[in-house]
Structure 1
């Protein structure tokens, strides 16, 4: 074991993949834990370890977590779709939103039509009821 690692800890996923010693102040360790090796593997494949290292060191610590999340998302999208990456996923979602908005507009139009139809039926019914005069019962002959 290295001098700054206890017998219970293991190198972070980045250091393990890069086959290097995981130093105490390793910039990767907080964001790429040993139990999530695929997380760093995809980021390394797309961006390269040295670029990720430079980026993380240039950022303030409070922004690093968000940066890593973005890199992991983009890297996974790039692995799935090497040409479009995130843009392909965003485009697909925008298309789905447009389709759902069109379906919603159709459903809302149908609701308006049904309410108008029901309203006209009620008006017709009420008009018939007010113009309806019950038949007069035949008068019984007076005696």
Structure 2
């Protein structure tokens, strides 16, 4: 793509930021105006559910709120604008939020979180044998 930009120097200024456009989603379907999504990675290994979230440039002690309610993990963060004048920025400021349904049997009350190098990692234990399916016997009368 860099070759294309070299051949068409006006291309970046005439086309919208496609990555930002895709992140913004379809107009009218965004959960709340001014709220940005959070990019995440999920994994499940050895009875532990892990969610990693990209949150560079925040202070996790005061700018992050994590909660678990009825099997849904909700992550909210806020990044404020620095007061220095900027010629151009593609950074996103404001409120960021993401809600994720935890696996069946996850122990949200035992969740823990660690922030390192701009990535927040939340781990939630999920006991072996937890299943979303329950067999219900039928009695014949």
If the length of structure 2 is used for normalisation, what is the TM-score? 0.20
Higher relative contact order (CA 8 A, sep 6+): 2
Q: Which has the larger radius of gyration?
A: 1
Of Structure 1 and Structure 2, the greater helix share is in 1
Structure 1 or 2: larger strand share? Answer: 2
